[in-house]
Amino acid sequence: MIGAETADIETEVLPPQLAPETLRITPLGGLGEVGRNMTVFEYQGKLLIVDCGVLFPEVEQPGVDLILPDITLLDDRLNDIVGIVLTHGHEDHIGGVPYLLKRRANIPLYGSQLTLALVSAKCKEHRINPVLHFVSEGDRVQIDEFDCEFVAVNHSIPDALAVAIRTRAGLVLATGDFKMDQLPLDGRITDLRTFARLGEEGVDLFMADSTNADVPGFTPLEKDIGPVIEQVIARTRGKVVVASFSSHVHRVQQVLDAAVANGRKVVLLGRSMVRNMGIAAELGYLDVPDNIFVSLKDAASIPDQYLVYMSTGSQGEPMAVLSRMAKRNHQVELGKSDTVILASSLIPGNENAVFRVIDGLMRLGAKVVHKGNAKVHVSGHAAAGELLYCYNIIQPRNAMPIHGEFRHLVANASLAIETGLPAERTIIAHNGTVVDLKDGLAEIVGQLDVGSLYVDGSSVGKVTDDDLYDRRVLGSEGFISVITVVSKQSGQIVSGPDVHAKGVAEDDHVFDTIKPKIASAVQEALLNGERDKERLQKIMRRTLGRWVGTKLRRRAMIVPVIVEVD
């Protein structure tokens, strides 16, 4: 966005010491990406965190389970954290909480009933007993130096909240994820009256969800989805599988209602789906008709035309239920009479994985219904028209778009400027951008070097970008080991070099022509008095690498080994 203040992410610029009565805002995730949303607010030496989510890995991050915000930057400030405010219960906003609480378990959590129930279940899996403070729309809570007012917003999960943060430095309004559905299933609309009242008070910084900022108009109504799902189920002669996010309570409710209308039972598939819907039903957010649920075991004795399976895996996750069905690696087998409904949108980066799953399902003969060919999903995020309403109602002094890829942030900033906000008062930030707010002016004062924290099995933060590069090379180019045994006393090659490869060539004999050249290079170095193992190994790697690049046109990972014997 030309004219908007934009951070330079190429160079780390440490911010100055925080001036008195200045509010510092530092996003650690969620900008330039869809996921791992987290923003740190600092005032008078205290830190308030809004959201702490996860990002799911893409193809270029093999072996990674989750990606966290760079919470290591808080390690020396853990005792300054006065609370974590959670806007809603989606994974990209709460999934990182247990990992932060492992660093300090008694950080208070603030959120709505459903949000804290979901995060509590996650913490229980990590053997953490969190400190919970339940809040509702209209509540105003003093969290140390931060005066927080909670505002109802509509989203694709119940109980979502925006938060207005007051300090003597000014008033910040952060929307969380939201949209402005005027006829929501639960009757809970985005509270524009409170937005207007805050605007009258004077919003110094508006931090609005950007995910759909580049989509013109308004997000369609959620209520229009139910009849379509019901019609698809009515036309299906066999079983129906509906895949959605495991926290999308509204979508599951629509599936339950459609199943009842068609005389079908529902089977919940996927650990997170079973857990989350159990919580939602217990708290009254999910209206469960009598005897609608059956177990997977009992479903085996029920004819297909009386069953609907509600599953996880709508993003093509390889180990999720839907992917396993597509690979014929699940108890539920699909065929020509069956229908699969993908009742979710595509998270950027997951397109190829989802298309592979769709292809796999169609190869089995199943019909696949998705957002591209039927109205089976609407977004949970405000489109451009809704954001324009917000800017006009609130009339903020400064704007800093959040939650979205860079193109979404730019589109959001453009909307702010179109409504009359000066370009220089519109900030396009990145993860690690440091913004100070004082006297009604928000400006960029620094840029931290913020990385990604990878969760790989039980390890957190141990896998680096270099490790991922090595994994990509192994996966795409293969692996070659070259071993040479050298005598310490004589300085002569005793045996080798032996070359072994995986994923490079069909036969190790391919390397017979290069072995003498490797031996010659090593022997020459030995005759010149070279005895350092690392240098000899570099000679082998360089000699073999050049040959592999020229002859085989590969950039395989080469692991040279020098073994010394007496």
Does residue 189 lie in a domain region? Answer: yes
Average pLDDT of the segment spanning 468-496:
74
Residue 429 shares a structural domain with residue 444: yes
Residue 209 shares a structural domain with residue 227: no
Tell me which of 448, 483, 503 is where a domain ends: 448
Average pLDDT of the segment spanning 79-88:
98
Q: How far is CA 407 from CA 54, 93, 211, 410, 469, in A?
A: 20, 21, 9, 5, 26
Q: How far is CA 484 from CA 500, 511, 566, in A?
A: 12, 14, 14
Residue 290 shares a structural domain with residue 433: no
How far is the C-alpha of 141 from the C-alpha of 151, rounded, in Å?
Answer: 12
Q: Evaluate if residue 545 carries a pLDDT over 90.
A: no
Average pLDDT of the segment spanning 257-261:
95
Residue 409 shares a structural domain with residue 541: no
Strands 131-134 and 108-111: parallel
- Which CATH number goes with the domain that contains 499? 3.10.20.580
Q: Report how many domains make up the chain.
A: 3
- Which CATH number goes with the domain that contains 352? 3.40.50.10710
Residue 250 shares a structural domain with residue 357: yes
Residue 112 shares a structural domain with residue 247: no
pLDDT of residue 294: 94
Does residue 283 lie in a domain region? Answer: yes
Residue 183 shares a structural domain with residue 210: yes
Tell me which of 369, 391, 410 is where a domain ends: 369
Tell me which of 420, 448, 476 is where a domain ends: 448
Residue 236 shares a structural domain with residue 277: yes
Residue 177 shares a structural domain with residue 91: yes
Q: 31, 431 in Cβ contact below 8 A?
A: yes
Residue 193 shares a structural domain with residue 251: no
Does residue 458 lie in a domain region? Answer: no
Does residue 483 lie in a domain region? Answer: yes
Q: How far is CA 503 from CA 9, 387, 474, in A?
A: 37, 51, 8
pLDDT of residue 492: 83
- Which CATH number goes with the domain that contains 64? 3.60.15.10
Query: Which residue would you say has higher pLDDT here, 219 or 5?
Result: 219
Does residue 127 lie in a domain region? Answer: yes
pLDDT of residue 318: 64
pLDDT of residue 6: 77
Does residue 404 lie in a domain region? Answer: yes
Query: Which residue would you say has higher pLDDT here, 535 or 404?
Result: 404
Query: Containing domain of residue 35, as a range?
Result: 22-217+379-448
Residue 151 shares a structural domain with residue 109: yes
Does residue 460 lie in a domain region? Answer: no
Band the pLDDT of 547: cuts 50, 70, 90. Answer: confident
Residue 338 shares a structural domain with residue 191: no
